[in-house]
Amino acid sequence: MMLLLLLLLLLLLPPAPAAPSPESVAAVNPCCYFPCQNKGVCVRFGLHQYECDCTRTGYHGRNCTSPEFWTWLRNALRPSPAFYHYILTHGRWFWDLINGTFIRDFLMRLVLTVRANRIPSPPTYNSAYGYISWEAYANVTYYTRVLPPVPDDCPTPMGVKGRKRLPDPGLLAERFLLRKSFVRDPQGTNLLFAFFAQHFTHQFFKTSGKMGRGFTKALGHGVDLGHVYGDSLERQHKLRLFKGGKLKHQVLNGEVYPPTVMETRANMTYPPGVPLHRQLAVGQEVFGLLPGLMVFATLWLREHNRVCDVLQAEHPSWADEQLFQTARLILIGETIKIVIEDYVQHLSGYHLRLKFDPELLFGVQFQYRNRIAVEFNQLYHWHPLMPDSFVVGDREYSYEEFVFNTSMLLDYGVESLVDAFSRQPAGQIGGGGNINRHILHVAIGVIEESRELRLQSFNEYRKRFGLKPYKSFQELTGEQEKASELQELYGDIDALEFYPGLLLEKCQPNAIFGESMVEIGAPFSLKGLLGNPVCSPEYWKPSTFGGETGFNIVKTASLRKLVCANVKTCPYVAFHVPAPAPGERPREPSSEL
Ligand code: HEM
Ligand SMILES: *[C@@H]1O[C@H](CO)[C@@H](O)[C@H](O)[C@H]1NC(C)=O
Ligand SMILES: *[C@@H]1O[C@H](CO)[C@@H](O)[C@H](O)[C@H]1NC(C)=O
Ligand SMILES: *[C@@H]1O[C@H](CO)[C@@H](O)[C@H](O)[C@H]1NC(C)=O
Ligand SMILES: *[C@@H]1O[C@H](CO)[C@@H](O)[C@H](O)[C@H]1NC(C)=O
Ligand SMILES: *[C@@H]1O[C@H](CO)[C@@H](O)[C@H](O)[C@H]1NC(C)=O
């Protein structure tokens, strides 16, 4: 009797999670194994069958693993990313020789085409569509994505590899991402760079609060300067003066600043209780967050109005609208120039002098379009750049004093803040353990988002961007301790997630981050910059920018000019800290907060 009862009980109990017996493995969606290599596309047939579409991958065979002859040859000759990174970052004298020659143009064209070709264009998938579809193409409220989501009927969150449950995001952040002591970036990156990065990228990273993760409010999908002009026509009109093409502004202490929300009714995101006459109104709603963002917002506002004066002097017949629109195109061009020749130049550490010249691509096939990818958004969470406190003048400000501070910009003025931010070192982004406690929650959010959107594993992204998948956590981190802990938590290197992989990868020697951030980030970045319509043969000519004068403003733009054309006295301005004078210690905040 007892035995019978027990048997009954056993029958009624839910079955234990099936150990992968041959049949149950066969019942799994075969695409969960990510069988198709080299960009082959997995299509499920029946229940247990799949086919890899290897069209134009340069490979064939069931899993697109057999190279065609030319593919094989190219692979055999192609240097590894680590190799050419070494070459590009060493031998200054050699690169100074190259600088003045046609070889510079040749290499720059190579960099642009090889990188940009890694990005599918037109875009392919999004977080709701893991196959090509008209909806994914046409509905631009989605961020696109380069790799489709992990199918939602897979045995594990990463497909078939790793544990059934991923490690707790809070635990990952505390254990591997939280800063214990500030690690400064060995490339000498400063806070001005960090705020530029944040300011620049927040024109196209505007994850929609209402629609949820995977959706964006920045429908321009690129460098449209929506952070200066607003992401809708309605907001743009609130910010415009409708005189001489200019933007609204106010003059305080004899200097031009953004207008207030009180005046413009262009709402900003501030904590409750900040009165509207203290809120500065700019294109991007969140830029009240940091004085560093408001500094750049102010600089671009002044630049816009300055360019309007230049245009108006040459075109007294032009109406407000044409002055505004032409100034906007000039500022877009200036931005791209500064991002390539100052910002990316610094970040890359390359001795090859990068060149912004759209004509480099006029002889090759290139699509002038861009769509912002969710992977690019994830990857750009560079919060380790932020220090533990902010040094301005002879004072040190805590996060509590700095974040949402409405008076600092006006108290110090643009010059002093640019000078201060240019002198203070930023944190190293890669290598882990370098995010200040105040912003650790943002990193947790990134990991949560990647799970909600079912991002594929770090190693799948490595492969997609032409890198070898890591074989072990030791190989990833270059050490033992964190590696074995990660192995314990994830169970398998092929189950490691995208963002933790990017941040925990060992850095390149004396560099700000590891190989994957460069090899995955650069394609998105360069495609977004050169894919802008102003770089197309139809637009890239003097008339687009109001004549040679405007065209020249674009072609000679620099960070230094952006600042110094718009302040009274030119401060120290660069994306790196000044070289310390002999015997002097570089300035760094003393205390940890
Ligand atoms: C003290 C400085 C900073 C603070 C307080 C801060 C705070 C935040 C917060 C609260 C979010 C929204 C998170 C969410 O909705 O889940 C966010 C998003 C983001 N942050 Fe930061 N951040 C800082 C610096 C930076 C820097 C220097 C970068 C460099 C690029 C950066 C890049 C991003 C990106 C790309 C996003 C995603 C934006 C989006 O998708 O809408 N942040 N940050
Ligand atoms: C294709 O990939 C699957 C899944 O990874 C694997 O089991 C199979 O052996 C591969 N077949 C060939 C011919 O490589
Ligand atoms: C490289 O060449 C440009 C002109 O093409 C020149 O202005 C610049 O100073 C040169 N830079 C170096 C490091 O030689
Ligand atoms: C885009 O897709 C979302 C989700 O299905 C939908 O809510 C939204 O209305 C679509 N937008 C457009 C412009 O069709
Ligand atoms: C701006 O904020 C005000 C007051 O908080 C609110 O009444 C108004 O609807 C908001 N306007 C927009 C366009 O969101
Ligand atoms: C904002 O910054 C100023 C310095 O410009 C400082 O005196 C003030 O205390 C800060 N405000 C807050 C609320 O911390």
pLDDT digits (tens, 9 = 90+) for 467-514: 999 999 999 999 999 999 999 999 999 999 999 999 999 999 999 999
| pLDDT tens string 507-559 | 999 999 999 999 999 999 999 999 999 999 999 999 999 999 999 999 999 99
Alpha helices in 161-287 (DSSP H): 169-172, 191-201, 226-229, 233-239, 261-264
Confidence at 100, pLDDT banded by 50, 70, 90: confident
Q: Would you say 541 and 302 are in contact if contact means Cβ atoms under 8 Å apart?
A: no
- pTM of the model as a whole: 0.94
Q: Reply yes or no on whether the pLDDT at 422 is more than 80.
A: yes
**Terminal-to-terminal C-alpha distance of the chain:** 69
Q: Would you say 551 and 545 are in contact if contact means Cβ atoms under 8 Å apart?
A: yes
CA of 268 to the centre of ligand 6 (A): 19
Predicted confidence at residue 13, as pLDDT, reads 42
Q: Reply yes or no on whether the pLDDT at 2 is more than 90.
A: no
For the CA of 382, the closest atom of ligand 1 is 29
Confidence at 583, pLDDT banded by 50, 70, 90: low
Return the percentage of the chain with pLDDT > 70, whole number.
Answer: 93
- How many angstroms separate the Cα of 340 from the Cα of each of 106, 111, 119, 333? 16, 12, 18, 11
Mean pLDDT of the chain: 94
More confident residue, 587 or 217: 217
Both structure tokens of 425: 């070192």
Q: Reply yes or no on whether the pLDDT at 59 is more than 70.
A: yes
Q: Is residue 202 annotated as a catalytic residue, yes or no? A: yes
Q: What angle do CA 353, 355, 357 make, to 5 degrees?
A: 165
Predicted confidence at residue 527, as pLDDT, reads 98
Predicted confidence at residue 26, as pLDDT, reads 53
Minimum CA distance residue for ligand 6 atom 13: 401
201 lines ligand 1 (CB under 6 A): yes
Catalytic residue among 50, 142, 199, 202: 202
Confidence at 210, pLDDT banded by 50, 70, 90: confident
CA of 176 to the centre of ligand 3 (A): 42
| pLDDT tens string 342-394 | 999 999 999 999 999 999 999 999 999 999 999 999 999 999 999 999 999 99
59-60 vs 66-67, strand pairing mode: antiparallel
More confident residue, 26 or 52: 52
Q: Reply yes or no on whether the pLDDT at 436 is more than 50.
A: yes
Task: Say how far apart CA 74 and CA 167 lie, in whole Å.
Answer: 40
Ligand nearest to the CA of 399: 1
Q: Reply yes or no on whether the pLDDT at 88 is more than 80.
A: yes
80 lines ligand 4 (CB under 6 A): no
Q: Which of 62, 65, 66 to mutate to test the pocket of ligand 2 (most atoms within 8 A of CB)?
A: 62
Task: Say how far apart CA 191 and CA 424 lie, in whole Å.
Answer: 6
CA of 141 to the centre of ligand 6 (A): 38
Return the percentage of the chain with pLDDT > 90, whole number.
Answer: 92
Q: What angle do CA 282, 225, 345 make, to 5 degrees?
A: 115
For the CA of 34, the closest atom of ligand 2 is 5
Q: Which of 133, 135, 139 to mutate to test the pocket of ligand 4 (most atoms within 8 A of CB)?
A: 139
Q: Reply yes or no on whether the pLDDT at 22 is more than 90.
A: no
139 lines ligand 4 (CB under 6 A): yes
CA of 63 to the centre of ligand 2 (A): 6
Predicted confidence at residue 589, as pLDDT, reads 53
Q: Reply yes or no on whether the pLDDT at 160 is more than 90.
A: yes
Predicted confidence at residue 211, as pLDDT, reads 82
Confidence at 579, pLDDT banded by 50, 70, 90: confident
Catalytic residue among 380, 397, 461, 499: 380
Predicted confidence at residue 7, as pLDDT, reads 37
Those residues with Cβ within 8 angstroms of residue 406's Cβ, 6 or more apart along the chain or in another chain: 270, 274, 278, 279, 280, 288
Predicted confidence at residue 65, as pLDDT, reads 98
Which residues line the pocket of ligand 6, CB cutoff 6 A?
A: 401, 405, 407-408, 411-412
135 lines ligand 4 (CB under 6 A): no
Q: Which of 143, 347, 439 to mutate to test the pocket of ligand 1 (most atoms within 8 A of CB)?
A: 439
Q: Which of 63, 460, 463 to mutate to test the pocket of ligand 2 (most atoms within 8 A of CB)?
A: 63
pLDDT (average), residues 288-309: 98
CA of 397 to the centre of ligand 6 (A): 8
Amino acid, res. 3 = L
| pLDDT tens string 124-147 | 999 999 999 999 999 999 999 999
CA of 412 to the centre of ligand 4 (A): 45
Predicted confidence at residue 209, as pLDDT, reads 81
Q: Is residue 137 annotated as a catalytic residue, yes or no? A: no
Confidence at 27, pLDDT banded by 50, 70, 90: confident
Residue whose tokens read 């004068």: 549
CA of 103 to the centre of ligand 3 (A): 13
Task: Say how far apart CA 222 and CA 347 lie, in whole Å.
Answer: 20
